Amino acid sequence: MPHYPQGVIQDPYQRRLTTDENRQGIRVIQVWLWATPSRKIIQRLMSQVSFMITCSLRGLFLPQPDVIFIENQPIFTGLAGWIISRIKRRPYLINVSDYWPEYLLAVGVLQEQSRLYNIFKTLVNRTQRDASAIVALLPGLMDSIQARIGAIENGHVIMNAVDLERFRPDIDTLQFRKKYGLEGKKLLTFVGTLGNHIDLDTMLDVAAYFEDRDDVLTVFIGTGIHREILHERGQDLHQTRWIGWIDHSEMPSAWAASYLTFWAVHENELNKISFQSKLYEAMASGVPPIVSVEGIISDLLDQHQLGITVSFGDKAALINAIEHVLNNPSVRDQMSRNARAYAIANFSPEQVADQYEAVLTDLAQSIARNTRGSTTQ
């Protein structure tokens, strides 16, 4: 049931064990889970295990599929798909969009020698080894998977996509600005989840620096495990707004209203090779990102002049970069045009959908060939 990222099941899905809906001709089934807003790993694991159980049970009563598509994260989602595939005796494609379980080490949740981490690693390796095909979001992700489980025979790297019609620079944002009291300002925004990877202290220090500029408003859109920190420190910042999580229908307006977007992440190897998903919508909307990060994001933004990156934790450089763009509209306009053009050229939904469909079709045809072969014999 819908519950992320607040950790509370949303209306009208509360107190329901399962739902069965038709969305644009697609049958969508959702199941109950024990949702929790807690940051404690035990409670979050209990929530994920509860979903694994209800998903597996409901999946057993579905018609026989041609092929199963599994999202790899969190780990128990993958296990639910693995269970269903074993009982239904059908191949599955596993889609890997994040470094898991490596992420647990990078953010300090677990240690490499811990028993829990090694259990997670074993389970992830099992679901990935048994997959008939693996799709990774980035080349570095595919390398990471192969380092754990060996060479992958049917592996594919497919970048993500963004709806280029919904997310674009020319959206009318007047109603959105009025609703949240954001009129007449250049919006310096953070849009996303306040997770462990985010260096919120650095970001709030940046927001404090721009308190003296009447033409700039720093806006945090989203929530997550660090929301208490944002709430406490944000009370002393009068040129900073936190409007929490907004409806999906408002996201294009939030991006189009943004003059710049910024964020900082903690220094670790995963953040050097991760491609944060907010970049897709930011670039499609022509919003230049100013980011404290190193690695593939830095290489991309710098090479194509889509935004500006500075070193991990370099608060002064982050402030200077933002101030430079604020004071030079022509620089911002050029980066905005570059970002939109790059998104059009590289993040087309049709192109990405075709690649996924080709992999799924191949798996479905392979099971059909094997079935015909067994019948002939």
Q: Please choose, from the candidates 319, 266, 321, the residue with its C-alpha nearest in 3D space to the C-alpha of residue 293.
A: 266
The arithmetic mean of pLDDT across residues 289-307, rounded, is: 94
Which pLDDT band, with edges at 50, 70 and 90, does 220 fall under? very high
Mean pLDDT of 337-354: 94
Taking residue 65's Cβ as centre, other Cβ atoms within 10 Å add up to 16
Sequence-distant (6+) residues with CB within 8 A of 375 are: none
Task: Give me 249's structure tokens.
Answer: 């229908």
Provide the 3-class DSSP secondary structure of residue 126.
helix
Quote the pLDDT of residue 344. 94
Q: What distance in Å separates the CA atoms of residue 50 and residue 36, rounded to the nearest whole number?
A: 11
Lowest mean pLDDT among 26-35, 48-57, 229-238, 320-329: 229-238
Cis amide leading into 74 (omega within 30): yes
Distance CA 225, CA 244 (A): 12
3-state secondary structure (DSSP) of residue 213: coil
Peptide bond just before 91 cis, omega within 30 deg: no
Q: Looking at residues 71-86, what average pLDDT do you find? A: 90
Distance, CA of 260 to CA of 151 (rounded, Å): 41
> How far is the C-alpha of 54 from the C-alpha of 210, rounded, in Å?
48
Average pLDDT over the chain reads 91
Secondary structure of residue 20 in the 3-state scheme: strand
Write the pLDDT tens digit of every residue in 309-327: 999 999 999 999 999 999 9
Task: Note the pLDDT of residue 218.
Answer: 97
Q: What are 150's two structure tokens?
A: 């060996």
Phi, psi of 133 (to 5 degrees): -155, 150
272 — pLDDT class (breaks 50, 70, 90): confident
Averaged over 278-299, what is the pLDDT?
A: 95
Nearest to 218 by CA among 255, 187, 259: 187
Bond into 139 cis (ω within 30): no
Specify whether domain 174-346 bears CATH 3.40.50.2000.
yes
Class of the CATH-defined domain 63-161+350-376: alpha beta
Give the pLDDT mean for 108-120: 86
Q: Which residues, listed in sequence order, are joined to residue 263 by a DSSP beta bridge?
A: 291
Q: Quick one: average pLDDT of 75-83?
A: 91
* Whether the bond into 101 is cis, omega within 30 of 0: yes
> How much is the pLDDT for 377?
55
pLDDT at 368: 74
Bridge partners, 68 (sequence order): 92
CA dihedral (352, 354, 357, 363) positive or negative = negative
Q: Cis before residue 5, ω within 30 degrees of 0?
A: yes
Mean pLDDT of all residues in 148-160: 93
pLDDT of residue 327: 97
Amino acid residing at 100 = W
Per-residue pLDDT, 376: 53
User: Structural domain boundaries of the chain?
Assistant: 63-161+350-376, 174-346
